[in-house]
Chain A
Amino acid sequence: MSSIVALTQEATAPVARRRRRSITLIAGSICVGLIVAIALVSFFYLPYSTGDTSGGRLSGPSLAHWAGTDELGRDLLTQLMIGARIALAAGGGSVIIGGVLGILIGLGTAFATRWLDDTLSAILDILIAFPTLLLAMLVIAAEGESLVSAIIAIGLAMSAIVARLVRILTKRVLAQDYITASRTSGTRWIGVIGLHILPNIWPTVLVNLALQFGLAVLAEASLSYLGLGAPPPNASWGELLQEAQGTVYTAPVGAIAPGVLLVILVIGMNLLADGLRDIGDPTRRSRS
């Protein structure tokens, strides 16, 4: 990017840009925080038990049932709260699996000999081409429908993407002169990784993982919608949307609330990712 533009931007409105950056972070945190709060509360208090079908079918919001009830008379608010747990678990679990695996594999291929590296990265490219959703469906077909299967599947698919990113970043760092300097002064490879590589790559990787979180949540929702997710009563928001499909007009809350909550969570994580990206590299123009 032109240095003049960079200088100009630094001079023109440094305060405004910082404000825009922090708006992104604040908005993102609020969104994600809201969902996390709902999930946390759900562990301590649920309006009704999950099997309670006493509410009367498809009733609208009322004092007894803040979000109304579903087709079987179960309280919607309860299901929405449980759904928050599942969405966060799906996102978080996938990101942890994908992140850890991806970093390990990525580091490994970056250090591997040329031939091994080429082969592995070719395999990685193929795995990435293999659509996440299909991969997840395969695993679910194998292991049966459960949240854990979905998380593992999505996490595996994510690890390929993270691995490729880590590989490229690591190679870039390894090509720097200060690595050679560090090695010459006696630092062992483990030290190099810990001292130089990881600190350099983790901001970018973190931003990438934040974005993948949102994608994982959406992927799990899609799987649940298709009936391949965790079976009720631990229903995810995707499942709720599936059930409420026919009753958008008669009981709109059921068909709208889960979707809205999904959007809030995913947008929140995307905003956080954008905010983190700007923090990691303040010379970059904000892209959100």
Chain B
Amino acid sequence: MGIYLLRRLVFLVISLFLASAVLFALLRLLPGDPANALLSVGATHEQVLAARHAIGSDLPLGEQFVNWIGQMLTFNLGTSFISGFPVGPDIASRLVVTVPLTLISFVLAVIIAVPVGFVAARRANRWYGIALSAISQLGIAVPVFWVGVLLIEAFSLSWRILPAGGFPQDDWADPLDALRSLTLPVITIAIVMSSSITRYVRSATLDVLSSDYLRTARSLGASFRGAMWHHGIRNAAVPVVSILGIELATTFLGAVVVESVFNLPGLGSMLLTAISQHDYPDLQGVLFVSTFIVLIVGFIADFVQRLIDPRLRGSVSGNSLSARRRMPA
């Protein structure tokens, strides 16, 4: 496992490098002069050249890239064109909102999805099992921002229980206050994400319930509960854990959108502002950090998956055919 871990780490680093290269290239391909953001209308040619020099866009691309990588490695994400503030700390202050939002939503979604998915599978022939499954179908078809809008309408404007948006100025100084602001956003995201995860839990549980090994265990005298506990949980966890990494990444994205609905000062709003203002350092920084987070989550998810499923060990990629051959089709 140790060697494997090392290989995955190397792979992660390479992925980060490749991702930043792709990012870099994409941003440089954007039409429009990055220096424009620094200038006002009607700038003279000398002013344009000076601006380009100031931000370093007159250097050859290769050199720009190397500089950027160098900056990344020293955690220097540059300075915003528009605000003049350094990008790094700005992102950090945004993460303080987005990361808790994502994590709490995700945990809540999983907590809801596991029992619901289980019941939907176990009682797939009863009306409430079918109803749960239908509700989860609905949950994944609904736009997350719409849920947010409706919830605001119900809880904030009509019943006035929870704030309609915004986040305390002093961040988490008063945790309860901050949590109040996050309540509706978390519920919004959790509704959609739990629907998605429920479907995977249901599917995995159905597979286990009809499996041969469960039948073997029972034929040897194990009770249903005992057999599910010893064999069912781990086997059901395998396919579910394999998608949890992706679901967490999707939750993160959902958070980005939902921040707009609830006016939260997180990574999402910073991204949107950067796009509209063509603020390249900000844009670069946010996208890089986002990708970084997603890749790390993927790495952890992959690791957990291999811990649970011995069939995946010994192959570099979880998609390798050799691993699949160990599983009955």
CB nearest to A172 among chain B residues: B321
Q: What chain B residues lie within 8 Å of A249 (beta carbons)?
A: 153, 157-158
Interface presence of B210 (CB below 8 A): yes
Known: A142-B30, A164-B319. A134 touches B253 (CB 8 A): yes
Tell me if B30 and A222 are in contact (CB < 8 A): no
Interface presence of B231 (CB below 8 A): no
Q: What chain B residues lie within 8 Å of A262 (beta carbons)?
A: 141-143, 146
- A to B CB contacts below 8 Å, 13 in the list: A1-B211, A126-B22, A126-B295, A129-B298, A130-B22, A141-B278, A214-B141, A225-B260, A241-B143, A249-B158, A259-B142, A267-B137, A270-B140
- What mask results when residues 30 to 62 of chain B are scored 1 for a CB within 8 Å of chain A, else 0? 110000000000000000000000000000000
Tell me if B210 and A123 are in contact (CB < 8 A): no
> Which residue of the partner chain, among B18, B203, B257, B283, contacts A123 with CB atoms under 8 Å?
B18
Complex CA distance for A271 and B203, rounded to whole angstroms: 16
Complex CA distance for A143 and B26, rounded to whole angstroms: 11
Tell me if A225 and B30 are in contact (CB < 8 A): no
Interface presence of B29 (CB below 8 A): yes
Complex CA distance for A267 and B294, rounded to whole angstroms: 28
Q: What chain B residues lie within 8 Å of A105 (beta carbons)?
A: none
Q: What chain A residues lie within 8 Å of B14 (beta carbons)?
A: 122
Interface presence of B290 (CB below 8 A): yes
Instruction: Please give me the 8 A-B residue pairs with the lowest Cβ-Cβ distance, nearest first.
Output: A266-B141, A248-B153, A259-B146, A267-B141, A142-B30, A141-B275, A5-B210, A2-B212
CB nearest to B32 among chain A residues: A142
> Which residue of the partner chain, among A2, A126, A141, A226, contacts B283 with CB atoms under 8 Å?
A141
Q: What chain A residues lie within 8 Å of B143 (beta carbons)?
A: 218, 221-222, 225, 238, 241, 259, 262-263
10 extra interchain contacts, Cβ-Cβ under 8 A, other than A4-B215, A245-B261? A1-B211, A126-B19, A129-B291, A131-B291, A141-B275, A171-B321, A226-B257, A227-B272, A248-B150, A262-B141
> Which residue of the partner chain, among B149, B207, B257, contacts A248 with CB atoms under 8 Å?
B149
> Which residue of the partner chain, among A2, A122, A256, A263, contacts B141 with CB atoms under 8 Å?
A263
Q: What chain A residues lie within 8 Å of B252 (beta carbons)?
A: 131
> Which residue of the partner chain, among A2, A4, A228, A256, contacts B275 with CB atoms under 8 Å?
A228
